Amino acid sequence: MRSLAFLLVSIAVFGQQTSEKALVSDLVAANRILAHEINVLDAYGHISVRSTTNPNHYYLSRAISAGMVTAADIIEYDLESKAVPGSSNDSYLERFIHGEIYKARPDVMAVIHAHSAEMIAFGASGVPLRNMIHTGAFINDGVPVWDVRKFGGSADDMLIRNPVLGKALAAGLSNRTAMILFGHGVVIVGNSLPTAVSNSYFLNMNARIQMDALRLGGGQLSYLEREPGAKPTGTPAGAAANNRAWEYWKRQVAAKLAK
């Protein structure tokens, strides 16, 4: 009986290790996709994913450009954004964005922080980002503008460099999918890694379309808004469409790495 129990435990542990290894592999792919395929992350942006076996931990690359990330660069953190023992200490300064959002939002499985020019432009203009495309339904929940200067930051230092600022940011995001950081960039979340990546893609697409429509003029713009009283249903494209784009992007990254 002891041998059988040991065997069952060993199988369970092996399964968890395999699952986490696959998750890390997908996180590496997500970094490459965001940097090279859909141009969301610059050299300073980052993406994390919550552990599938321990919801109080998450994975994030060491401080390196997203387009260069490999599995060896991934660090495991607890929700205080402290690296687990034995991990590299070369951490992103703004890792507290990730830890505090995961702490406040059990539904979130992936977090992206980008420095998208489109998001910064909307944050500075006073023009609210509104839904223009059918894959941007989450935008109808609102994309607020959050200013770190109101929480102790300054024009010379807008980084989310500690848990206090991370907690304030997470509170500003609330239950939404995205939030613009004034003069800084954007945070985007998802209930899975593929969903977070596709959300970031459609958010930037929506912003560019809205900018173009505003330039065209011709009167009042038309937006894809929810009917009064309608409940959020997520992106009409749904999980299947997110996964379809995800698998395509992963294949593109794999093909480039194989050359």
Tens-digit pLDDT profile for residues 32-68: 999 999 999 999 999 999 999 999 999 999 999 999 9
Establish if 184 belongs to a structural domain: yes
Identify the weakest region by mean pLDDT among 16-30, 148-162, 171-185: 16-30
Residue numbers of the domain that contains 41 = 25-258
Model confidence at 14: pLDDT above 50: no
Asked whether residue 3 is assigned to any structural domain, the reply reads: no
C-beta of residue 119 within 8 angstroms of C-beta of residue 112: no
CA separation for the pair 153, 171 (Å, rounded)? 16
DSSP β-ladder status, 145-146 and 178-181? parallel
Q: What is the pLDDT of residue 198?
A: 94
| Sign of CA pseudo-dihedral 9, 15, 19, 25 | positive
Average pLDDT across the chain, whole number: 90
For the chain, what is the domain count?
1
Torsion sign (Cα): 12, 15, 19, 24 = positive
In a domain, 2, yes or no: no
Structure tokens given for 83? 């690296």
Predicted pLDDT of residue 50:
98
DSSP 80-139: T-PBPTTS-----GGGHHHHHHHHH-TT--EEEEE--HHHHHHHHH-PPP---SGGGGGG
pLDDT confidence bin for 241, thresholds 50/70/90 = low
Q: Tokens in use for 205?
A: 């697409």
Above 90 in pLDDT, residue 88? no
For residue 8, tell me if it sits in a domain: no
pLDDT, position 7 = 41
- The CATH number assigned to the domain holding 107 equals 3.40.225.10
Closest to 91 (Cα-Cα) out of 66, 61, 65, 114:
61
Classify residue 13: in a domain, yes or no.
no
With respect to residue 7, please indicate whether it lies within any of the assigned structural domains.
Answer: no
Whole-prediction pTM: 0.89
